[in-house]
Amino acid sequence: MTSSHDVVVLGGGPAGAAAALSLCRHAPSLSVALVEQSGYDLPRVGETLPPTVQAVLEQLGVWETFVGEGHVAAYGTCSAWGSDELLDNEFIYHPAGRGWHLDRARFDRMLARAAAGGGVTTYSGYKFTGSSHGRRGGWLLNVKAEAGSEAEIKASFVIDATGRRAAFAGQRGVRKVLLDRLLGVSVTFGARGAGQFADTYTLVEAWEEGWWYSALLPEGRVVVFCMSDADVVKRRGLNSTDAWLGLLEATRHTRGRVRHATPLGPPSAHAAYTHRLERVTGDGWLAVGDAATTFDPLSSQGVLKSLRSGVLASYAVADYFKGAASGLEKYEALTAREFKAYTAARADIYGRERRWAESPFWLRRRALARPAAV
């Protein structure tokens, strides 16, 4: 199979799907394709979306569809940060009144369906494996189906939405700049018997070598993350169920949330480090979402940031096809500005926790208190 498109988006997560969908709405004359390795059928790590997501979902034309999907409502965050006292930060003070605990697989599938319905050609179940320059300009992209068959897709422009791998940008030799080594080790819990988790708040609790995060999931489950640096995770043996549960038992607030619940599997590790690409645009390509930059999960901005990134990227690409190189320059500058603002906010939040002054984890956060140069 060989096909050709004006724009090929590699990766069908929130950033990639938003870019493809926005391009169809903003530049309908362009031929757009979306290449996604999965079939959106496996569970994905979720996130609590803030009420402010409504504006971008309305811009993408999927707000009503999203509301109809029935994601679990979230009415705020409780946190024990800087002290043992649990404090509330309620969404009720926002005009929208609530956020949402995402079923990520369902959410991503919804965006991909909307893109396909808007005219995007979708290649589901195809993995991006390589790329090269075309003889007459543009790119030749190699993809491989689950069954093993290989195909080639020609693209005038490529959007790298491959997540933290930044696979296409990496093949261009673009360096990834890491600011930390944060990992999240999670266990999902199910209520025992006919019990239900009634607390809809996201719960954050600091501890000596990191912090805990827990939130509702679909089907009456709760996911609990222990967040720490990779060397701490290894030293503590947190990939072990016994070690993980033992550390959970030492918490003051988080343990109570799952006191009458049952672990549904062993701990699972997830990369959560902050990084940025040294540049997010090039000749005939740009990176979006987590391929361009990643935010600390403490910000609860990952999915929202990815959606916004996809929309901004679509404007830059549309300008590119109009012959305006300034679109890519603006996108590069906006991404850098956003990341600089994020690092400043991140330093402020971590700086509020002053217990455990000699802990390596918190010493590292204080060392990173200066916003990263971008």
* H/E stretch holding 256: helix 254-257
By the 10 Å C-beta count (0-12 exposed, 13-18 middle, 19+ buried), 232 is classed as buried
pLDDT number for residue 371: 44
Q: What is the rounded CA–CA span in Å between residue 267 and residue 274? A: 22
Strand partners, 246: none
Long-range contacts of 131-140 (CB under 8 A, 24+ apart): 131/158, 131/168, 131/171, 137/284, 138/284, 139/8, 139/284, 139/285
Confidence of residue 198 (pLDDT cuts 50, 70, 90): low
Mind listing the pLDDT tens digit for each residue in 313-353?
999 999 999 998 899 999 999 999 999 999 999 999 999 99
Given CATH 3.30.9.100, say whether it is the number of domain 50-101+181-272.
yes
Query: In the chain, what are the domain boundaries?
Result: 1-47+104-178+278-374, 50-101+181-272
Mind listing the pLDDT tens digit for each residue in 23-35?
999 999 999 999 9
- Cut 0.85: pTM above it: yes
Q: Is 58 helix (H, G, I), strand (E, B) or coil?
A: helix
Domains 1-47+104-178+278-374 and 50-101+181-272 share a fold: no
Look at the domain 1-47+104-178+278-374 and name its fold.
FAD/NAD(P)-binding domain (3.50.50)
Cβ(186)–Cβ(225) below 8 Å: yes
Instruction: Please give the biggest Cα pair distance in the chain.
Output: 64
Strand partners, 261: 191
Q: What is the rounded CA–CA span in Å between residue 295 and residue 184? A: 13
Confidence of residue 136 (pLDDT cuts 50, 70, 90): confident
